[in-house]
């Protein structure tokens, strides 16, 4: 192994960049649905070894970029599925999301690798700086240009329920820092004699952290479910995206959701029926007849129906469209709604529409014009009679950890409505579901997830799956709403204390570098 490490360090030119690309691509196996955490040892460890042979800043930047490009191509290739729903209109754009988007995202790890090279020499300190830089780059990736914090390194700990639990204390941002440290640690032992102490300490620390997560699970509240807990029925109609908005199928699709919502002999009577994102494909506030049909279900269960649906506001001349979650009662009234606030660029709205529409671009979602971002003052909370308030997260809103806990009051549960039919049957839906489970752990709140084609699930406040409907399955899932746990540390502090601690690792070397430049002037 030491000889192999030496050969990797000696690589240069296109061979070094090609290996970096392959190592980055291999890293995607560390996420759902594979959850092969040991590939982090190969990926981050190999990156550290390749960085030892770099002697110029631009070479370090190029190394990080090629590593990141491979990483994001392999992890995000499933995005092509969304552009093939209507291939006659959007297939020509596939190279842009599959190759172009990863090329832009690769700038973040490129900066992290350059910083680690610039601020330290080979060794343990470089690994710590790489972990700090990589984590802060992920934070920036979740903010810049509306943000896209997909497949953060911390999600590598999704391989076991116990490994996820530290997210309740340090969040995914803290787990990302640990994941890079643990991934690169074994490589430190390959670069010379007596270099085993630091990697052993790092790996033991990681095991202690996972062990603490196992302890948390072993001490979880195992009391029987509250007999008064509301019973929820999730409807997963499994309607393909290409069929969802077809005029000749809209009525049949609507009827399918209605018939699947009706009480069954074998399942307990639900208090609440939940449909996924845009399961109702009409302007729900403007279609009384459709709401009355939904109200028949609410009448039979003596409860409520929540559906994702387009919602409109304003006059005919200035109508605004919202992607909403709407609660309907037995009187066909909308008793409360929550609008999606974090919209998908190019999916739900076209950035720079005045310019880009001239060259033939449009958003992927059906309908004229763009969706508007929700501006409700409730922080996305849905208030329902007889139930605790729910924090609504529509589609990829659930991947933004810092936004989940926002609101005027703490919710009693998380409600995620999504339409992963856009992602096909590739790795995207599995990755999306895995990230959603981390939100439950971070907040100490149960999560109910309704997905049009899967994966729908009921998840407890520890991120453990209590029931699920797999991808591509038509069916329903009925179960009691799990209870929440005592407010987690992360729910109280958020991510900023962890970010501040990580930033401190970069402060001293940055000051040293700046002062050194001043002395040379």
Q: Is 224 a domain residue?
A: no
* Same domain as 235, residue 213: no
Residue 521: predicted pLDDT? 42
For residue 365, name the pLDDT band (cuts at 50, 70, 90).
Answer: low
Q: Is 291 a domain residue?
A: yes
Judge whether residue 115 has pLDDT over 90: yes
Which two three-digit tokens encode residue 162?
A: 């116990």
H helices of 120-228, in order, are 124-141, 161-164, 167-188, 197-218
* Same domain as 275, residue 134: no
Judge whether residue 194 has pLDDT over 80: no
Whole-angstrom Cα distance, residue 414 to residue 448? 6
* Same domain as 500, residue 470: no
Quote the percentage of the chain above a pLDDT of 90. Answer: 64
Q: Range with the lowest mean pLDDT among 36-45, 51-60, 225-234?
A: 225-234
Reduced to 3 states, what is the DSSP secondary structure of residue 377? coil
Q: Is 141 a domain residue?
A: yes
Quote the percentage of the chain above a pLDDT of 70. Answer: 89
Q: Is 290 a domain residue?
A: yes
Q: Is 166 a domain residue?
A: yes
The partner residues of 467 in beta bridges, in order of sequence, read: 458
Residue 455: predicted pLDDT? 97
Q: Range with the lowest mean pLDDT among 321-325, 354-358, 454-458, 459-463?
A: 354-358
Judge whether residue 359 has pLDDT over 60: no
Whole-angstrom Cα distance, residue 283 to residue 299? 22
Q: Is 107 a domain residue?
A: yes
Instruction: Name the DSSP class of 309.
Output: E
Find the mean pLDDT for residues 331-336.
94
Instruction: Name the DSSP class of 430.
Output: H
The bridge status of strand 447-451 relative to strand 413-418 is parallel
* Same domain as 385, residue 512: no
* Same domain as 8, residue 57: yes
Q: Is 490 a domain residue?
A: no
Residue 223: predicted pLDDT? 56
Reduce the secondary structure of 464-476 to three states and give it as a string. CEEEEECCCCCEE
Residue for token pair 């570098």: 513
* Same domain as 262, residue 169: no
Whole-angstrom Cα distance, residue 47 to residue 20? 7
Give how many domains the chain has, as a whole number.
2
Torsion of CA 108, 109, 115, 116, to 10 degrees: 160
Judge whether residue 352 has pLDDT over 50: no
Find the mean pLDDT for residues 119-148.
93
Which residues lie closer than 8 Å to 207 by C-beta, 6 or more apart?
none
- Residues with catalytic roles: 277, 340, 395
Find the mean pLDDT for residues 93-114.
94
* Same domain as 269, residue 214: no
* Same domain as 263, residue 405: yes
Q: Is 225 a domain residue?
A: no
Residue 379: predicted pLDDT? 59
* Same domain as 174, residue 321: no
For residue 96, count other CB atoms closer than 10 A to its CB: 13
Q: Which domain holds residue 165?
A: 2-219+495-520
Q: Range with the lowest mean pLDDT among 61-75, 151-165, 169-183, 298-312?
A: 298-312
Instruction: Name the DSSP class of 191.
Output: S
| Preceding peptide of 455 cis, ω within 30° | yes
Residue 266: predicted pLDDT? 79
For residue 235, name the pLDDT band (cuts at 50, 70, 90).
Answer: very high
Select from 261, 189, 244, 236 the least CA-distant residue to 364. Answer: 244
Judge whether residue 14 has pLDDT over 60: yes
Reduced to 3 states, what is the DSSP secondary structure of residue 398? helix
- Tell me the average pLDDT of the chain: 88
Which two three-digit tokens encode residue 451?
A: 């997905």
For residue 141, name the pLDDT band (cuts at 50, 70, 90).
Answer: very high
Judge whether residue 519 has pLDDT over 60: no
* Same domain as 410, residue 296: yes
Whole-angstrom Cα distance, residue 379 to residue 392? 9
- More confident of the two residues 70 and 317: 70
Tell me phi and psi for residue 23, to 5 degrees: -65, -40
* Same domain as 214, residue 274: no
Residue for token pair 């790996």: 203
**CA separation, residue 502 to residues 146, 246, 248 (Å):** 23, 50, 55
Residue 315: predicted pLDDT? 65
Query: What is the domain-level CATH number for residue 467?
Result: 3.60.110.10
* Same domain as 500, residue 480: no
Instruction: Name the DSSP class of 367.
Output: S
**Sign of the dihedral defined by the CA atoms of residues 443, 461, 134, 202, in that order:** positive
């Amino acid at each position: 192994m030491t000889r192999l490490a030496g050969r990797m360090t000696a690589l240069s030119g296109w061979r070094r960049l090609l290996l970096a690309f392959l190592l980055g691509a291999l890293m995607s196996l560390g996420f759902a649905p594979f959850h092969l955490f040991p590939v982090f040892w190969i990926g981050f460890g190999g990156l550290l070894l390749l960085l030892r042979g770099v002697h110029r800043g631009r070479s370090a930047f190029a190394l990080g970029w090629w590593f990141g490009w491979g990483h994001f191509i392999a992890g995000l290739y499933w995005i092509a599925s969304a552009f093939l729903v209507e291939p006659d209109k959007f297939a020509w754009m596939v190279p842009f999301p599959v190759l172009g988007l990863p090329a832009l995202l690769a700038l973040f790890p490129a900066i992290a690798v350059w910083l680690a090279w610039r601020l330290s020499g080979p060794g343990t300190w470089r690994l710590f700086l790489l972990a700090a830089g990589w984590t802060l780059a992920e934070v920036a990736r979740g903010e810049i240009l509306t943000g896209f914090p997909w497949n953060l390194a911390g999600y590598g700990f999704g391989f076991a329920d116990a490994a996820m639990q530290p997210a309740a204390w340090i969040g995914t941002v803290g787990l990302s820092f640990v994941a890079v440290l643990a991934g690169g640690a074994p490589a430190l032992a390959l670069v010379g004699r007596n270099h085993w102490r630091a990697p052993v300490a790092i790996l033991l620390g990681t095991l202690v952290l996972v062990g603490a997560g196992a302890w948390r699970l072993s001490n979880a509240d195992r009391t029987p479910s509250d007999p008064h807990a509301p019973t929820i029925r999730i409807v997963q109609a499994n309607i393909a995206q290409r069929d969802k908005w077809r005029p000749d199928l809209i009525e049949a699709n609507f009827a399918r959701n209605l018939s699947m919502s009706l009480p069954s002999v074998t399942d307990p009577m639900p208090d609440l029926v939940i449909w996924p994102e845009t399961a109702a494909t009409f302007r729900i506030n403007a279609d009384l007849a459709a709401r009355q049909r939904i109200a028949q279900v609410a009448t039979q269960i003596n409860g409520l129906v929540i559906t994702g649906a387009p919602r409109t506001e304003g006059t005919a001349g200035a109508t605004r469209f919202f992607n909403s979650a709407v609660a309907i009662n037995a009187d066909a009234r909308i008793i409360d709604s929550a609008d999606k606030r974090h919209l998908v660029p190019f999916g739900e709205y076209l950035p720079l529409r005045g310019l880009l529409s001239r060259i033939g671009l449009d958003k992927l979602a059906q309908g004229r014009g763009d969706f508007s971002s929700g501006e409700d003052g409730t922080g996305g909370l849905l208030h329902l009679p007889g139930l605790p308030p729910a924090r609504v997260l529509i589609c990829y809103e659930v991947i933004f950890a810092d936004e989940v806990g926002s609101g005027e009051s703490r919710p009693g549960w998380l409600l995620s409505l999504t339409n992963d039919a856009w992602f096909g049957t590739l790795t995207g839906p599995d990755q999306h579901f895995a990230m959603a489970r981390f939100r439950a752990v971070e907040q100490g709140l149960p999560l109910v997830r309704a997905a049009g084609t899967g994966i729908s699930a009921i998840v407890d406040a520890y991120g453990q799956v209590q029931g699920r409907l797999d991808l591509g399955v038509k069916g329903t899932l009925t179960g009691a709403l799990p209870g929440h746990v005592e407010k987690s540390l992360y729910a109280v502090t958020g991510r900023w204390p962890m970010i501040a601690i990580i930033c401190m690792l970069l402060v001293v070397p940055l000051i040293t570098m700046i002062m050194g430049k001043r002395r040379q002037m």
